[in-house]
Structure 1
Amino acid sequence: MASTTNELLRAVLNSKRTPSSGGRTASKPSSRKGTPKLSRSVRGSRAVSRDVSDDELDDAASIASEDTWYDAFNPEDEESEEAIGDNWESDLQEALDALGEKRATAREKALGSVVRIMSQAYVGEGLEGSRISCLEALRRCARSPKTDMEAQLALCGISLWFINFGMESEPEDYTAISEQLKALVIDRSKAASARSSALATLGMANFVAGSDFRDAAALLQFVDSQVLKVELSSKEHGAAAVVRQALETYGLLMTVIADGNARLAEQLFDTSFDVHMRALAADNVELRVAAAQNFALIHSTLARENGTTNANSNGSSPPLLSFEFERQDELVATLQVLQHESAKKHGKRGTSTQRSAMREILRTIEHGEMPKLKISIREKTLRLNDWSHISRLHAFRTLLGSGLPTHFVDNPLLQEVFQVEFDGSGYRYLVKEARTVVDPNSELAKARTLDMQRRRRNAREAKAVDNDADDDYY
């Protein structure tokens, strides 16, 4: 998104529009008690390689090397946010009721509370009875906002709605908002912040509630043709925030498509290859990094699908299989140029970010090496070594901010997406040893996906039976 959830809340807090939560006593679902203060924070929402010093940290810093740590808890976030109280359910309902206020400042204040609570607590069970009315209230605010801040907060709230109600959401929930958000995305008269927020919301809603990989493919084609190719066709490369979010949304959708049909993923990316190459040529470091990560994502996916084990894999992560793009040499040469680009053009921070990212991406594309990422959550360590999971992690981290550990522990959606389990009674990771996330192409991962689809299908059929019964009654 144009702004992370924490940045949006910070802006509202600075304007003194967010009400006090009535103290800093944290409720159980959102408590940070027992979470260690980490010696190193991640600014923004991305991991940073250990060879980048603390004064060089940058929002665009990307996936890094074997020793990379992604700190799910950021001490800076705690200092900039108000903790939610024990009565967060009533506070949330009060804020939702206030979304109908006529004054924009009152709606912003209420939206700030909604976003803060839904990002720091898992509300999927406590607010089940108000699930639909909550989404409708947020949609109304996003439909005709009076300020850019109201638009961003409303769109962020919709994304958080899908994260919180992910296990109960239906394809109809995504369909209900998709056209509204698409219209906002392609309206170049709207603020870049609102358009990029709409892109992020579209991606998350589709990821959570889309019917299958075909839904994701349809949205990806929209992002490619209506955003990337339009914005990158001009010499100025359009609004950087919009292009960056379009690239990140593209990557998130591609993880869904590749899981469902790798050949379709390859065909779709072939049509997007040129636009990604244009993004690599942009002046903005963040655009270059986002585009390069998509190359790594699709390369690693198709490499596994190709069928021949790469001897260069070191065995500590799922082995990549041999694959090359048609224009592999051109791509590698471009990435190598970016890796060694002089610091004069982008400064020390930007150049360090770019070099670190390109180095890791080249390891995947040239040598078949997967990234290695460790996440610290509740004093436990989770290891990710797949570009697909890393792309998904970035999307959730951007929206949840410092609430990510809480949602990993309490939210079944994140546990399903990343195949992790926590002991909720003591907030302890069930597997004491560091654990590798299940390969998304493994039989276990596919079985879990099929099980989720089956449960959703049964829920829809049960709902249809109930509706038929109501019709018979009348």
Structure 2
Amino acid sequence: MPKNKKKGGLKGADKSRQGSRPPTDDECDTGDNWSTASVLSEDANSLPESGGDVESEDTNTQEDFEDKLKECIEGTLSKSAVTRKNCLEGIQKSFSKKYILDFLGDRKETVADCLTKCLRKGKGDEQALAASCIALLITQLGEEAETLFVELRPFMLTIMADKSTSVKARGKCANALAICSFLAGEDLEHVRNVMTALEDIFKASYVKGDNSSPSHSPEVCAMHSKALSGWCLLLSIAPSFLVEEMVSSHLDRMTGLLRSSDVDLRITAGEAIALMYELSREEDEEFEGPKMQELCELLKQLATDSNKFRAKKDRRQQRSSFRDILRTIEDWDAPDVSIKFGVEGLHLDTWVRKKQYDTFCDLLGSGIYQHLQENTLIREIFGLGAPRPIGAKPPQKLTKFERNMYNAAAFKARTKLRQKHRDKRSVSVNGV
């Protein structure tokens, strides 16, 4: 179980970070046209809109949801590959949309066994869907998942390392392995082994000995990006001695990934660098890395990139991401994002919290808000406490005067902190 690490000293940045917005259903991999095997309907999660006994109809809707989910679980054992794939899509959609720990209580071994068979015997898309469902199953089960993950981990490690397997399946296994290790890793040695396996994937994109960037297909770059993102997730909960070791081994080489032809890999590498700087400065406030000046120049180029050969969307996404990354390296600023769900809110003020939140956004899609409200494991990770009872009122808001006083104090403290670090850098530069 990951422990929340107290973060401090890094405040203020762009509040419009696109990476912290949960993807919509249209942006997710899950197919919306569920067919065969009586897979779940779109309105299974909806309350009745009119008439009748609302409580009774709500109970019937839940029973209908569970009956169809049972059919999906049974359908994963079908001889038809198409049926198995459709049923996996149904399981993926239901696990991400609703928190159903009670339903899974006495079925978790059965579900895990079905997903394992799809992972081992399936091909391509079926393996990719099975890996995603495994990550969602572990997210649902929380503390009850450790034993299951011990059994599932070897299969995902084997598929991820098998170069004859579909690239998409390998990328999904890399992502699922990282999430499962984050949530249910039983000891540091096993988590470290997973990090090493992920390194073996993304280091293939490191700059070659002749200082040239390797050429990979977009699919391979996507797999490397998934592996690197998962590695960062595990780094976010690593002890300080392991962080120091990883920074020493990868920070300098990670800079080469910023020159990759793939925009997602460039952004993931930039966020990995920002995360390593944040974690390193928790132990050493004067940490600057091996080639900080060269790194900042490259980040400035990426933050102002206007090359026409890149798609407009890619340019906009890249510039927004690297402005935040550059502020972290130069000014010690971290992302500052507020998320509202129901009557509650979540504040992301470090790269650690942002990486963890973005990971679950990618996994759960628009279901992230439901899990933030009900999933005890997710709430524990983000320090939200026990789930609020239905109908709970929002906490009392500050008055306008109180908000102004708080903002003024925060601005003053942030200004003093930045000035302190700028003075240190100017002294070191003049000394050189």
Interval of TM-score (by shorter of Structure 1 and Structure 2):
0.7 to 0.9
1:151 matches 2:127: yes
Q: Which amino acid letter does the alignment assign opposite residue 249 of structure 2? A: T
2:157 maps to which residue? 182
Structure 2 distance, partners of 1:249, 1:16, is 32
Contact 1:340/1:355, CA 8 A, preserved across alignment: yes
Q: Which amino acid letter does the alignment assign opposite residue 356 of structure 1? A: S
| Cα separation, partners in 2 of 1:341 and 1:22, compared to 1, 3 Å | closer
1:302 matches 2:283: no
Q: CA deviation at 1:215?
A: 2.9
Q: For each residue in 1:442-471, what CA deviation from the matched residue of structure 2 results, as whole angstroms up to 9, or x when unmatched?
A: xxxxxxxxxxxxxxxxxxxxxxxxxxxxxx
Q: CA deviation at 1:165?
A: 0.5
Contact 1:173/1:209, CA 8 A, preserved across alignment: no
Q: Which amino acid letter does the alignment assign opposite residue 389 of structure 1? A: R
2:233 maps to which residue? 252
| Cα separation, partners in 2 of 1:228 and 1:5, compared to 1, 3 Å | farther
1:286 matches 2:264: yes
In the alignment, structure 1 segments of 5+ residues that lack a partner are 33-83, 307-320, 436-474
1:228 matches 2:202: yes
Alignment partner of 2:45: what SS? coil
| Cα separation, partners in 2 of 1:12 and 1:329, compared to 1, 3 Å | same
Structure 2 distance, partners of 1:367, 1:18, is 55
Aligned length, in residue pairs: 359
1:262 matches 2:240: yes
Which of 301, 319, 323 lines up with 1:337 in the alignment?
A: 301
Which of 344, 358, 378 lines up with 2:342 in the alignment?
A: 378
| Cα separation, partners in 2 of 1:279 and 1:360, compared to 1, 3 Å | same
Q: Which amino acid letter does the alignment assign opposite residue 281 of structure 2? A: A
2:383 maps to which residue? 419
1:410 matches 2:429: no
Structure 1 distance, partners of 2:30, 2:174, is 21
Q: For each residue in 1:305-361, what CA deviation from the matched residue of structure 2 results, as whole angstroms up to 9, or x when unmatched?
A: 22xxxxxxxxxxxxxx44211222222122112112223131322111111111101
Structure 2 distance, partners of 1:244, 1:286, is 7
1:277 matches 2:251: no
| Cα separation, partners in 2 of 1:22 and 1:297, compared to 1, 3 Å | closer
TM-score (norm 1): 0.70
Contact 1:18/1:113, CA 8 A, preserved across alignment: no
Q: How does 1:357-396 map to 2 (within 5 A)?
A: 357-396=321-360
Q: Which amino acid letter does the alignment assign opposite residue 105 of structure 1? A: V
When structure 1 is superposed on structure 2, of 117-126 and 215-224 the one drifting more is 215-224
Contact 1:281/1:288, CA 8 A, preserved across alignment: yes
Q: CA deviation at 1:105?
A: 1.4
Alignment partner of 1:264: what SS? helix
Q: For each residue in 1:138-180, what CA deviation from the matched residue of structure 2 results, as whole angstroms up to 9, or x when unmatched?
A: 011011114x22222111110101100012122x433322221
2:363 maps to which residue? 399
1:106 matches 2:83: yes
Name the Cα RMSD after superposition.
Answer: 2.7
Q: CA deviation at 1:194?
A: 0.9
Structure 1 distance, partners of 2:366, 2:224, is 25
Structure 2 distance, partners of 1:429, 1:300, is 36
Q: For each residue in 1:169-203, what CA deviation from the matched residue of structure 2 results, as whole angstroms up to 9, or x when unmatched?
A: 22x43332222112211222222211110101100
Q: Which amino acid letter does the alignment assign opposite residue 124 of structure 1? A: L
Higher helix share: 2
Contact 1:158/1:201, CA 8 A, preserved across alignment: yes
Q: CA deviation at 1:291?
A: 0.4
Q: How does 1:92-131 map to 2 (within 5 A)?
A: 92-131=69-108
Structure 2 distance, partners of 1:427, 1:218, is 45
1:89 matches 2:86: no
Alignment partner of 2:135: what SS? helix
Alignment partner of 2:345: what SS? strand
Q: How does 1:45-64 map to 2 (within 5 A)?
A: none
Structure 1 distance, partners of 2:313, 2:202, is 26
| Cα separation, partners in 2 of 1:210 and 1:255, compared to 1, 3 Å | same
Q: Which amino acid letter does the alignment assign opposite residue 103 of structure 1? A: S
Alignment partner of 1:342: what SS? coil
| Cα separation, partners in 2 of 1:427 and 1:358, compared to 1, 3 Å | farther
Q: CA deviation at 1:432?
A: 4.9
Q: For each residue in 1:6-36, what CA deviation from the matched residue of structure 2 results, as whole angstroms up to 9, or x when unmatched?
A: 46976633474574535725268xx99xxxx
| Cα separation, partners in 2 of 1:10 and 1:223, compared to 1, 3 Å | closer
1:464 maps to which residue? none
Contact 2:38/2:72, CA 8 A, preserved across alignment: no
Q: How does 1:395-474 map to 2 (within 5 A)?
A: 395-421=359-385, 423-426=387-390, 428=392, 431-433=395-397
Q: Which amino acid letter does the alignment assign opposite residue 254 of structure 1? A: L
1:141 maps to which residue? 118
| Cα separation, partners in 2 of 1:248 and 1:23, compared to 1, 3 Å | closer
Contact 1:100/1:107, CA 8 A, preserved across alignment: yes
Contact 2:135/2:180, CA 8 A, preserved across alignment: yes
The structure having more radius of gyration, on CA atoms, is 2
Structure 1 distance, partners of 2:365, 2:37, is 18
Q: For each residue in 1:268-287, what CA deviation from the matched residue of structure 2 results, as whole angstroms up to 9, or x when unmatched?
A: 12212244122111011111
| Cα separation, partners in 2 of 1:159 and 1:11, compared to 1, 3 Å | closer
TM-score (norm 2): 0.76
Instruction: Give the share of equivalent positions with the same residue, in percent.
Output: 25
2:40 maps to which residue? 21
